[in-house]
């Protein structure tokens, strides 16, 4: 199976901890791949490796070419990464943040701005915004990148329910338009709604990947998260002991 | 400040022109710059004008270096002096005086070597990240000041006056040609503008900058080299003058926003304006004697910076 990104026999280490041992998977255009796993398992590290921002052992191919051979600027034209919120010390405004993301392309900013409902925030410094508002700005910044692969690290973090829904809809729309999306999610329900493919990582070296309908089963997820789950249809929740 | 950019530039340029005229005129005796004859013309064009050009270029260089160090360290409180460069340059200057007594040239060469040495040592910590690099700079500043105290104790008493006036900032003994200083100002600003996209991206942090396609390590090294060279030239020309590099970029960010296509030229001009004013005050307040300009920049700079800090918070 070939894809925009092809990972073969991937090894990832953080300090002395082996996060991944020989994982292989493929990232497809037009599909959403969700990375699931407990805290500290290495989900964000895997995303950073896919963005070429940290080194990984094994083979990582982007459009058939070794990712390590890409110049930084060439890589940025293929892959966009949304991760931690950027610092606010220097007084950047929302508009300036978006201009930095847009770079040299003259793409109209208004669709991204209205999709994330940040029209009224444009002139405000990032430092004055709440975490949720800043997250929406980051998602709008991502939408301004004209690249085939999006890597998102917990895109719905900090967002209220309405904007979580906006974010998930936007991801599905972008995937339908042909973009390859890889995202780390903590909410299983969100994963069930958007995922085409799943990558499981347990942080102890075990990892596997596959189509969402095969991977998102109560047994597998209960084992992965080391906690009992109960579910009905597409609803999956931890078993709090009270039933659903 | 919600003004159109063109008005902001008009204000900066108007302040620059007014500052130049005011600083030309002010001194032990007021001289009208538009009507100076005889001895007054000599004072105006052969004494005050060259010194004004030195103040303008040194102030601009210090402000540019400050703006670059702040982005490099991800900390708006960084400037060459916080990183211990003033201390290492002073050690170099005093060492120069010990080797060649009474030689201002030896002192300048020593200062240049000292500034380079100080920045090279700080650069050795750059791989540890901005916070630790800043901390290393602060600790190194203590080391340099201890070394300086040791050298001053060993320096002959006859040399102390020259050493102290340089250490507190002094534009009256600059040994570098004015043309070289002005050229440095132009080249530094030009190089800075070339790197402005990288500087802007670095405002988002190194990881975001890399994700936007910036070769962060390469650009960081270029910026460090540029900021070091500029600091060394400024320190060699004028001694240790603090707070210009801290206050001016901060002020210009408040006025022009954070993007460097505007912040760098505005800082280069704003730094020049601040140092011209400070130097004119330094040579006027207790005329015919002079105050060290570094003392005045600190007296103006510290409260101004604290005010800006409070305003921002």
Smallest CA-to-CA distance from B275 within B297, B304, B246, B303 is with B297
Q: For B238, phi and psi rounded to 5 degrees?
A: -135, 5
Question: A2 pLDDT exceeds 60?
Answer: no
pLDDT value, residue B112: 82
Long-range contacts of A71-78 (CB under 8 A, 24+ apart): A71/B215, A72/B210, A72/B213, A72/B214, A72/B215, A72/B216, A73/B213, A73/B214, A73/B215, A74/B213, A75/A51, A75/B213, A76/A147, A76/B211, A76/B212, A76/B213, A77/A147, A77/B213, A78/A147, A78/A148, A78/A149
Cα separation of B182 and B108, whole Å? Answer: 18
pLDDT value, residue B62: 94
**CA of A90 vs chain B CAs: smallest distance (Å):** 6
- B213 close contact with A: CB closer than 8 A: yes
Q: Between the CA of residue A136 and those of A100, A105, A140, A165, B251, what are the distances in Å? A: 16, 21, 6, 12, 29
Question: How many H-runs (helices) and E-runs (strands) does chain B carry?
Answer: 14, 0
Cα separation of A112 and A94, whole Å? Answer: 12
CATH number reported for the structural domain that contains residue B231 in this entry: 1.10.3470.10
Chain A residue closest to B218 (CA)? A72
- B209 close contact with A: CB closer than 8 A: no
Range of the domain at B221: 62-312
Q: Which of B210, B212, B258 is closest, CB to CB, to A90? A: B258
Mean pLDDT along residues A10-32: 87
pLDDT value, residue A233: 65
**CA of B179 vs chain A CAs: smallest distance (Å):** 34
Cα separation of B223 and B74, whole Å? Answer: 13
Do residues A206 and A223 make contact, with C-beta atoms less than 8 angstroms apart? no
pLDDT value, residue B221: 84
The answer to whether residue B211 is domain-embedded is yes
The answer to whether residue B42 is domain-embedded is no
Chain B residue closest to A123 (CA)? B2
Q: Which of residues 217-256 of B touch A (CB under 8 A)?
A: 253-254
**CA of B211 vs chain A CAs: smallest distance (Å):** 6
In tens, the pLDDT along A122-139 reads 999 999 999 999 999 999
Q: Which of B71, B205, B257 is closest, CB to CB, to A96? A: B257
Interchain CB distance below 8 Å, B76 and A90: yes
Chain A residue closest to B215 (CA)? A72
Rg of chain A on CA atoms, in Å: 18
Chain A residue closest to B75 (CA)? A89
**CA of B268 vs chain A CAs: smallest distance (Å):** 18
pLDDT value, residue A1: 40
Share of chain A above pLDDT 70, in %: 96
In tens, the pLDDT along B239-248 reads 888 889 988 9
Cα separation of B64 and A219, whole Å? Answer: 60
pLDDT value, residue A113: 94
- B204 close contact with A: CB closer than 8 A: yes
- B258 close contact with A: CB closer than 8 A: yes
Return the domain boundaries, chain A.
5-78+147-238, 84-144
Q: Which of A72, A81, A92 is closest, CB to CB, to B214? A: A72
Query: DSSP class of residue A119?
Result: G
The structural domain count of chain B equals 1
Chain B residue closest to A54 (CA)? B207
What is the ipTM for the molecules in this complex? 0.90
0.95 surpassed by pTM: no
Please, what is the Cα angle at B186 between A104 and B210, to 5 degrees?
Answer: 35
Higher pLDDT, residue A13 or B166: A13
pLDDT tier at A240 (50, 70, 90 boundaries)? Answer: confident
CB hemisphere CA count around A21 (13 angstroms): 7
Cα separation of A146 and A148, whole Å? Answer: 7
Cα separation of B263 and A1, whole Å? Answer: 50
pLDDT value, residue B312: 61
In tens, the pLDDT along A170-228 reads 999 999 999 999 999 988 889 988 999 999 998 777 788 899 888 888 888 888 888 88
Q: Would you state the CATH architecture of domain A5-78+147-238?
A: 3-Layer(aba) Sandwich (3.40)
The answer to whether residue B261 is domain-embedded is yes
**From the CB of residue A2, how many other CB atoms can be counted at a distance below 10 Å?**
10
Low-confidence spans in chain B with pLDDT less than 50: none
A145 class by beta-carbon count within 10 Å (0-12 exposed, 13-18 middle, 19+ buried): buried
**H helices of A51-109, where?**
72-76, 94-102
């Amino acid at each position: 199976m070939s894809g925009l990104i092809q990972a073969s026999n991937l090894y990832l280490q953080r300090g002395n901890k082996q996060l991944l041992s020989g994982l292989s998977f493929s990232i497809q255009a037009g599909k959403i791949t969700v990375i699931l796993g407990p805290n500290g398992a290495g989900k964000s590290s895997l995303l950073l490796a896919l963005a070429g921002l940290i080194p990984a052992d094994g083979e990582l191919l982007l459009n058939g070419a070794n990712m390590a051979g890409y110049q930084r600027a060439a890589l940025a034209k293929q892959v966009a990464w949304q991760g931690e919120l950027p610092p606010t010390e220097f007084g950047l405004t929302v508009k300036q943040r978006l201009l930095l993301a847009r770079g040299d392309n003259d793409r109209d900013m208004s669709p991204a701005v209205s999709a994330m409902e940040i029209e009224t925030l444009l002139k405000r410094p990032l430092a004055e915004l709440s975490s949720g508002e800043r997250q929406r700005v980051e998602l709008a910044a991502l939408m301004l990148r004209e690249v085939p692969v999006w890597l998102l690290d917990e895109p719905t973090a900090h967002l209220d329910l309405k904007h979580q829904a906006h974010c998930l809809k936007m991801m599905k729309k972008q995937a339908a338009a042909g973009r390859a999306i890889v995202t780390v999610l903590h909410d299983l329900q969100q994963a069930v709604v958007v995922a085409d493919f799943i990558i499981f990582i347990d942080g102890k070296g075990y990892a596997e990947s596959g189509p969402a309908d095969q991977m998102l089963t109560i047994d597998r997820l209960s084992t992965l998260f080391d906690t009992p789950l109960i579910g009905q249809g597409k609803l999956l929740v931890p078993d709090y002991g009270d039933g659903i | 400040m919600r003004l159109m950019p063109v008005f902001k530039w008009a204000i900066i340029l108007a302040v620059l022109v007014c500052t130049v005229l005011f600083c030309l005129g002010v001194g032990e005796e007021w001289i009208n710059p538009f009507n100076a004859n005889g001895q007054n013309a000599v004072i105006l064009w052969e004494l005050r004008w060259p010194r004004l050009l030195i103040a303008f270029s040194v102030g601009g260089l210090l402000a540019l270096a400050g703006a670059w160090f702040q982005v490099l360290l991800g900390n708006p409180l960084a400037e060459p002096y916080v990183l211990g460069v003033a201390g290492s340059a002073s050690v170099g200057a005093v060492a120069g005086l010990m080797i060649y007594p009474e030689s201002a040239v030896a002192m300048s060469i020593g200062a240049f070597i000292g500034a380079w040495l100080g920045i090279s040592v700080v650069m050795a910590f750059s791989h540890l990240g901005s916070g630790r690099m800043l901390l290393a700079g602060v600790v190194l500043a203590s080391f340099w000041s201890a070394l300086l105290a040791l050298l001053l104790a060993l320096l002959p008493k006859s040399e102390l006056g020259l050493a102290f006036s340089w250490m507190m900032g002094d534009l009256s003994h600059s040994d570098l040609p004015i043309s070289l200083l002005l050229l440095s100002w132009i080249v530094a600003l030009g190089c800075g503008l070339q790197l402005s996209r990288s500087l802007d991206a670095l405002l988002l942090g190194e990881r975001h900058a890399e994700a936007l396609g910036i070769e962060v390590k390469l650009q960081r090294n270029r910026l460090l080299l540029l900021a070091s060279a500029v600091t060394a030239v400024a320190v060699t020309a004028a001694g240790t003058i603090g707070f210009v590099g801290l206050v001016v970029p901060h002020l210009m960010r408040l006025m022009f926003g954070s993007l460097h296509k505007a912040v760098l030229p505005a800082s280069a001009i704003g730094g020049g304006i601040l140092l011209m004013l400070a130097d004119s005050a330094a040579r006027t307040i207790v005329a015919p004697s002079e105050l060290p300009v570094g003392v005045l920049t600190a007296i103006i700079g510290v409260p101004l910076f604290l005010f800006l800090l409070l305003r921002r918070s």
